[in-house]
Structure 1
Amino acid sequence: MKICIIGAGAIGVFLAARLGRLGHEIAVVARGERAAAIRDKGIVLSSADGHPIHQRPGVAERTEALGLQDYVLVTVKGYSVPETAEILELLVRAGTQVVFVQNGLPWWYFAGEGSSVGEMLDPGGRLAVAVPRDNTIGCVTYANVRNTGLGEAHHVSDSTFILGRPDGRQDAALKRLAAAMADAGIDARVTADIRKEVWTKLWGNLAFNPISALTGAAMDEIILSPETRPLVIAMMSEARAVAEQTGVRFDMTVEERLAKAALAGAFRTSMLQDLEAGRRLEIDAIIGAVAALARDVGMATPSIDVILGLIRQKAKVLRLA
């Protein structure tokens, strides 16, 4: 298959390396230093098993030369997703499937609703124009992959990728991608309810990520500490109420979700890693959109609002907004 990956960070490198070694034609969209580094030495994915994967995907700074793609995997942070609209306008044709691998609430969740949340995540609706709904695939991942350099990443643990259509269809194109990922050693599965999967991950992340960035604490500390655990529970309870107001139903309690997250141990969240590396913080998709959605449905989220205000101010002060 011809697969284009927009975003050569940790997840992008992971997917390019795993899929590339099976012989798929992989092209990575990157710019500047990152593009030069990948063009020069390829990409390297290391892992705990001590057997790094080295691949040399195609590198494109100008997407006009890429031509028709079977799949386009968008792996950039939520704040950069709207910027991919111009690229997608050039890449997407009738048969091209676009997979959005991202944290938080994705733009497609609110496409066509005309809501304030939709405008926040897809300003001007450019993504909705560039990617037809029938070509859209949502993706939630629990893979713990860390960026270790330009075109380099380290796979720490887990390789779960959950794929689904916004409308729940389980068609051949969706299953074909899941099968290709499984063949590459990725724990990929298809769901008929990707919205529920989005909320299941976001439910914890909207608390873990900003609290970790504000305190510097790892996941287990946040969950187990008597100082932060009540705040996490309050934020998750508010988020659950908002999600249920929009028709989402959860299969577990807050305590069960916390017990599952605690298994990650001393895991440093993506927002904490970004803060420590001096990278922009992914705030709107992970927590800002939930607060905006709460306002849209007339619900109060006092705990979420306080943490949102604090993390936005922290990002502004550190110039990571």
Structure 2
Amino acid sequence: MAASGKSSICIVGAGAIGGLLGVELSRQGHVVTFFARGAHLAAMQEAHALKLIKPDGTVVQSSADSVFTGSLANVPVQDVVVLGLKMHQIASVLPALPGIVGEHTVILTTQNGIPWWYFQEYNGPAEFRNRTVEAVDAGGALKTGIDSGKIIATVVYPAAHISRPGEVVHVEGVRFPVGEPSGATTERVTRVSGMLVAAGFKAPVLADVRGELWLKLWGTVAVNPLSALTHATLDELCTVDYSRAVVMSVMREVEAVAARLGSTMRVPIERRVDGAARVGRHRTSMLQDCEAGREMEVQTIMGAVVELAELCQVDIPCIRTVYGTVRMLAHVMRTQRVRICPIALDAAGK
């Protein structure tokens, strides 16, 4: 960190959440490099800015000294590296990470689901320590390629999406709680929390970041695949009685797996579901991927939970049913090279 208190920050994966973080951090004077690809990158480079539309409609953009790149090769060592990629995309940047990660660099992880580092720096049951979560890190490439001692985790609660290349819409939410995987309260996690708070987010330091990951995943395992399968929005899934029943059945099974691994949920199921319903007509990330024809985070969000349930010998019949069905959806999308999205009927019902 510079003497001014401002940091060099690289957003590795400047999509919806990475872009949201990057814009707001740059507006606090940090020097932010946005790493992206395709039309999104091209639009940012042309405008030399990433536009952010806030929940109240206010439009802001990244600072004038921001950098936009499709290659990490020429990016210098950073104070903070925000891994904004989805879990299955991280392996593609592993060879380039050593060039931007130095002795004192912090790696802030933002991924949904059970992370590859879950059993590293782990204080839960000794029988599980240092295991590889194969569903999200087959062969342990991420586990061996990313120093777990540099990781600070954040649990992402805001909803955001890319409305068009070069433009991110922040729908709602400002919570990015952070924590050391070891549970320690360190100078660096306090510093990262302070950076996020100064940028307008709520970022308390957690003593049990895995517990918070489970709290987020608790609902995600239920609503993300069901939204992709049904094209229902978050409020519909959590309020229509028959879908709400499935959501709650999945959540009870997730809770049982988390408990076996030493984590307990700090709110009742009903309160968690009601909170999700209040988000409104939000299309989950898996639904957005389904409709855009992108690879869905099936293994990250569901496969890892199935793997951990098997490890813990916890019965999860409802999760297995939803998991098998959404895997079939992903298979159809991949083999037929299609995106699956609703087509509105006209007034005649055609």
Q: Sort the TM-score into its range (normalised by shorter chain).
A: over 0.9
Q: Does 1:185 align with 2:194?
A: no
Structure 1 position 15 matched with structure 2 position 24: no
The residue aligned with 2:222 is 207
Task: State the distance in 2 between where 1:20 and 1:131 align.
Answer: 25
TM-score, L = length of structure 1:
0.94
- How does the TM-score come out when normalised to structure 2? 0.87
- RMSD between aligned alpha carbons? 1.8
The answer for the alignment partner of 2:55 in structure 1 is 48
Question: Per-residue deviation at 1:114?
Answer: 5.6
Structure 2: runs of 5+ lacking an equivalent: 1-6, 122-128, 339-350
Which residue in the other structure is 2:10 paired with?
4
Whole-Å Cα distance in 1 between the matches of residues 205 and 46 of structure 2? 36
In the alignment, structure 1 residue 85 sits paired with structure 2 residue 94 = yes
Q: Please give the per-residue CA displacement for 1:37-78, whole angstroms capped at 9, x wherever unaligned.
A: 221112100123332112252123332321111000011112
Q: What are the within-5 Å matches in structure 2 for residues 184-263 of structure 1?
A: 184-263=199-278
Pick closer, same or farther for the CA change 1:197–1:168 going to 2, 3 Å: same
- Partners of 2:58 and 2:240 lie apart in 1 by 37
Q: Mean Cα displacement is larger for which, 215-224 or 29-38? A: 29-38
Find the structure with the greater CA-based Rg: 2
Aligned residue number for residue 300 of structure 1: 315
Answer whether contact 2:160 2:171 (CA < 8 A) is retained: yes
How many pairs does the alignment contain?
A: 320
Shift of 1:111: 3.8
> Secondary structure of the equivalent of 1:121?
coil
Give the CA deviation at 1:129.
3.0
Instruction: Measure the CA separation in 1 of the matches of 2:302 and 2:34.
Output: 29
Superposed, which structure 2 residues align to 1:150-161 within 5 Å?
A: 150-161=165-176
Q: Distance in 2 between matches of 1:129 and 1:104?
A: 19
Task: Name the structure where helix makes up a greater proportion of residues.
Answer: 1
**Equivalent AA in structure 2 for residue 271 of structure 1:** M
3-state DSSP class of the match of 2:219? helix
Identity percentage of aligned residues: 36
Q: Runs ≥4 in structure 1, deviation > 4 angstroms?
A: none
Partner of 1:99: 108
Query: 2:37, 2:279 → 1: CA distance?
Result: 33
C-alpha contact (below 8 Å) 2:28/2:199 kept by paired residues: yes
In structure 2, the CA distance between the partners of 1:53 and 1:82, relative to structure 1 (3 Å rule), is: same
Matches of 2:204 and 2:85, distance apart in 1: 21
Give the 5 Å matches for 1:129-148. Answer: 129-148=144-163
| Aligned partners of 2:15 and 2:36 also within 8 Å | no
